[in-house]
Structure 1
């Protein structure tokens, strides 16, 4: 009888371990919680070049003069293939379906890594539809100030990223509350550079704001005439002691 109980207990433990392993295999990670984000081969600049070549502007959208962005989410699998492609905010007139088609046909991405192992990662991006590609472009190398770049997933995901990553222990020693304003350039590949505090709160808080933004995931770059461009951005980062 005792032997049967021991065998049952061992079987139960083995089943539990297998369930945990299965859950880990199937787990979809948030892109801000892993060591290395998934990436299109060659970076975001190459991704937007791919979009520019692959998108076929829907005739209905042309007829209705529809322009704007389609926001999508998808999972980058361990082998880099994209799955579960969904529109989170659509534009209509055939643009939503075209955005899904182009993403489903995307070349395999470099998968996300956590603890040096490939993992499944949920990612957010926007696909721009513009009928003004034939307009004269600004000179190469100029920094655009009025076009909008975006943190992957939008402002809500940016707030979540800041809340998870700001370390308040050292930053709030001064007991000051308020906002640190950080300016930076968002490159064509979504990488942030030239970060600086333009309106500070205190030394530790200013440094913490810079630290968090230096480790930020790549942003979705601003798009003009269907191509990514470099833009300047100013972000207020809020600090509260309570």
Structure 2
């Protein structure tokens, strides 16, 4: 058996979502960038194809390998009216080499089906977390998983990814419907993006919800509350067996 000495990058992602205290639609200005629209942009082949394309494109920088640098890079970008990826930025970086590679991969993505608001193509913003992990295990599968505090194996990427009832659009709507902007945060003008990580277990239950990156206790608490309300998912599978799979969801609270 061939031993994988080092790096298979682990990539996991979820679409960025922004929720405002007043309205999801900013204005009718053609230059506005939306975060939720009537018809969300779609990557060719869907989210699973997006995950695979990113995983296949990432090349772990040699400098980062030598230095043992790893971590999660958050990239924001806009899918414009023509479906092109533009305005890529590092929302949260780790190291210049990893940040640069994450930007390169996002800029080389295929053309999307653009999002639409009231029947018109518009610019839509996304946030994608890409996790670079060095692994000295003995298989590619091992590099796509970790062992948690309880000794359970948790995967980042599996052959059949978990699915929210009704798909990703239903998940977006579920979160949008349930999020309530905390009054204290509104009064104090607090806004920002909360990253929530969680595990979809073998039974499709959402578990081990944590604030991966917080903004304010009130916003963090609200983001956790909503994710914990999630109904049962269709569990992910690896080699035909249901397994635990980790997700990260960025939820941005914005005051208009």
TM-score (norm 2): 0.47
1 or 2, which has the higher helix percentage? 1
Q: Which has the larger radius of gyration?
A: 1
Q: Which has the higher contact order (CA 8 A, sep 6+)?
A: 2
Calculate the TM-score normalised by the size of structure 1. 0.50
